[in-house]
């Protein structure tokens, strides 16, 4: 004879990721590592910004370079003589806490005090996946259009620091930087917004100072 049974599962996949993220953070805390999750659109300048920060910050930096395919970004970071782990997600549009956990196992954490985790270029999917970082920095640029913030509000709601990059070409692409800044502040009144141009160096000192202040 057969019977019908109801089985309670209550397994939240998001919660499972968050638990793993907290574990990642504990591992990093134990090793004195401060982690910055660098999120943002494709081509907004995430890799270039991290490269610039590596050269300007007086810290032992490490990088987890997330990409769907290719080790191109990882190679760029390696040329700055810092420990790098390239993470290819294969088909996924975001990093998750599980992937980062494995990357942490491959990094010499005892020789790192500041870890940049470059997420996959995407303003939507990474929102759902906490990695265990201490700071969430969102990097967008004027070339994505000045309506990009209002179209992707959730990533800005979770951000601690927002960089609006490529100011030098704002006029050429017809983007209102003021609108972008206002839109971020509408969504997240507490977040620090820095406008920058990695070409001219504008905003770099503010980004460096912001990261230093979070690390204290």
Partner 1 sequence: MHELSMAQAIVDTVLDAAQKNEAQDILEVTIEIGQLTMLNPEQLKFLLDVLIEGTLLENSEILIEEIPVEIECRSCGFKGEANTDGSDHYLTIVICPECGERKVEVTKGRECNVKNIRIEKVDEDA
Q: What is residue 141's three-state secondary structure?
A: strand
> Which residue from 81, 49, 82, 80 is spatially nearest to 63, judged by alpha carbons?
82
Q: Interface with partner 1 includes 42 (CB under 8 A)?
A: no
Q: Interface with partner 1 includes 127 (CB under 8 A)?
A: yes
Stretch touching partner 1 by CB under 8 A, among 26-34, 49-57, 89-97, 104-112: 89-97
Query: Under a CB-based contact definition with an 8 Å cutoff, are residues 170 and 177 in contact?
Result: yes
Say which residue the tokens 């951000």 belong to: 159
Q: Interface with partner 1 includes 8 (CB under 8 A)?
A: yes
Q: Interface with partner 1 includes 69 (CB under 8 A)?
A: no
58-84 as b/e, with b when 16 or more CB fall inside 10 Å?
A: ebbbbbbbbbeeeeebbebbeeeebbb
Stretch touching partner 1 by CB under 8 A, among 47-55, 103-111, 153-161, 206-214: 153-161
Instruction: Report the nearest approach of partner 1 to the CB of residue 8 (Å).
Output: 5
With respect to partner 1, which residue has the nearer C-beta, 92 or 206? 92
Binding residues (CB under 8 A) for partner 1: these are 1-15, 91-94, 124-125, 127-128, 150, 153-154, 157, 186-190
């Amino acid at each position: 004879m057969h019977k019908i049974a109801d089985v309670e599962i209550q397994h939240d996949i998001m919660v499972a990721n968050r638990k793993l993220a907290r574990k990642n953070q504990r591992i990093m805390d134990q090793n004195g590592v401060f982690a910055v999750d660098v999120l943002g659109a494709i081509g907004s300048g995430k890799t270039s910004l991290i490269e610039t920060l590596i050269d300007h910050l007086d810290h032992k930096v490490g990088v987890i370079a997330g990409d769907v395919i290719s080790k191109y970004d990882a190679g760029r970071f390696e040329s700055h003589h810092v420990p790098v782990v390239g993470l290819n997600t294969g088909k996924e549009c975001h990093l998750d806490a599980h992937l980062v956990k494995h990357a942490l196992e491959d990094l010499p954490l005892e020789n790192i005090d500041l870890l940049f985790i470059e997420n996959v270029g995407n303003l939507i999917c990474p929102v759902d996946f906490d990695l265990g970082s201490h700071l969430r920095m969102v990097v967008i640029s004027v070339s994505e259009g000045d309506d990009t913030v209002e179209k992707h509000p959730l990533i800005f709601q979770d951000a601690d620091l927002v960089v609006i990059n490529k100011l030098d070409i704002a006029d050429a692409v017809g983007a209102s930087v003021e609108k972008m800044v206002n839109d971020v502040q509408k969504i997240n009144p507490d977040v620090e917004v820095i406008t920058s141009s990695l070409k001219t160096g504008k905003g770099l000192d503010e980004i460096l100072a912001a990261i230093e202040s979070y690390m204290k």
